[in-house]
Amino acid sequence: MAIAGGSQLLGGAALLPFVLISPPHLSAISVSVAVTAVVFAVLCNGVAYLLYYRLIADIGPTKALTVTFMIPVFAMLWGALFLRESITANMVVGAALILAGTLLVTARARQVPSANIQK
């Protein structure tokens, strides 16, 4: 939990100089915008980091990393659903490769039965 919190604080601190260089217009920041930004920061980033680090502890870093492989597949789906973007054959092939690779990484290794060789 300390790593998740520290990475979020360090990320915010790294972005702070850019806000000081080019501050937003105060008229553009309403109460609803500020509340939405805080809710997204806490829920989308904070909780997601906590879940991700828990996933690392439960299933290991290699299998937990496969979650990030799915980002392009979901981006393609959300783009088609909400932005009416077209899905091409190359995109489908790419998504299939991503899914196949993820399956190979996360699938349990099969135990090969050892042959009882008698000498």
Q: Kindly report, residue by residue over 63-96, the tens digit of the pLDDT.
A: 888 888 889 999 999 999 999 999 999 999 999 9
Of 59, 76, 91, which one is at a domain's C-terminal end? 59
The pLDDT assigned to 40 comes to: 85
The pLDDT assigned to 8 comes to: 77
Query: Which residue range is the domain that position 8 belongs to?
Result: 1-59
Each as own residue / partner, the long-range contacts of residues 26-35 (CB below 8 Å, 24 or more positions apart, any chain) are none
Indicate if 67 and 16 belong to the same structural domain.
Answer: no
Res 114 pLDDT > 70:
no
Indicate if 2 and 53 belong to the same structural domain.
Answer: yes
CA 11 to chain CA mean position, Å: 16
| Cβ 55 vs Cβ 64: under 8 Å | yes
User: Which amino acid type is present at position 43?
Assistant: L
pTM over 0.75, yes/no: no
Res 113 pLDDT > 70:
no
Tokens of 13: 């601190």
